[in-house]
């Protein structure tokens, strides 16, 4: 298959599909962190090429329920934050509206209800795919079956504990929070490839 991995600079999903013998390319406005087929630029520059599958990771900073305290500071809706979230939702909808790619998966965390995102197909957790942490993530699937767990682990570190992998401070905090788990990528390549 020819696979487009949209909004990915890590190469995690791209490389999982390549390892299974597929032709895969990642695309992001950031350069790739790992050598491999990658387009640095706007996804809409290459989105309308001929692909069999798209797996997309649109930015979730302003949509995620994890940032609800910024959306409702002092218990009032922040219109600036809401506007930024609606920009994120519109980007998501543009990717979801693509009809020429037969198989589509869009991944995002649980979003704030105020954004009224489309109904998701499935929720997954890292601990069902070999990672001892909890991070509920939603998948929107078109012409793809739900992902089946591959390696359920019992030890589960909460994302709400200060100082853990998810909430460590510093300049890479956002990158760490956005990490896509290798177990998820491997399951996608194995089950959908």
Distance CA 92, CA 71 (A): 19
What is the reported pLDDT for 113?
Answer: 87
What is the reported pLDDT for 132?
Answer: 87
What is the reported pLDDT for 172?
Answer: 60
Q: Which residues, listed in sequence order, are joined to residue 2 by a DSSP beta bridge? A: 23
Question: How does the average pLDDT of the chain come out, rounded?
Answer: 89
> If DSSP states are collapsed to H, E and C, what string results for 149-187?
CCECCCCCECCCCCCCCCCCCCCCHHHHHCCCCHHHHHH
Q: What is the dihedral of CA 136, 174, 140, 93, to 10 degrees?
A: 140
What is the reported pLDDT for 169?
Answer: 56
HSE-up (13 A, CA, CB side) for residue 154: 0
What is the reported pLDDT for 117?
Answer: 94
Higher pLDDT, 65 or 21: 21
Q: Is the pTM of this model over 0.95?
A: no
């Amino acid at each position: 298959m020819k696979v487009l991995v949209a909004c990915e600079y890590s190469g995690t999903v791209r490389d999982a599909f390549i390892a299974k013998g597929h032709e895969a390319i990642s695309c992001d406005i950031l350069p790739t962190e790992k050598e491999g087929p990658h387009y640095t630029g706007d996804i809409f520059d290459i989105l309308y090429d001929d692909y069999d599958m798209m797996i997309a990771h649109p930015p979730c900073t302003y949509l995620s329920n994890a940032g609800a305290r910024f959306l409702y500071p002092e218990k009032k809706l922040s219109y600036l934050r809401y506007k930024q979230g609606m920009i994120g939702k519109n980007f998501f909808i543009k990717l979801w509206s693509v009809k020429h790619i037969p198989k589509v998966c869009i991944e995002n965390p649980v979003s704030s209800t105020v954004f009224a995102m489309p109904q998701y197909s499935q929720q997954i957790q890292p601990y069902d795919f070999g990672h001892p942490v909890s991070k509920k993530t939603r998948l929107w699937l078109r012409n793809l079956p739900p992902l089946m767990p591959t390696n359920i682990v019992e030890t589960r570190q909460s994302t709400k504990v200060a100082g853990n992998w998810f909430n460590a401070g510093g300049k890479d905090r956002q990158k760490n929070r956005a990490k896509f788990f290798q177990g998820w990528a491997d399951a996608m390549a194995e089950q959908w490839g």
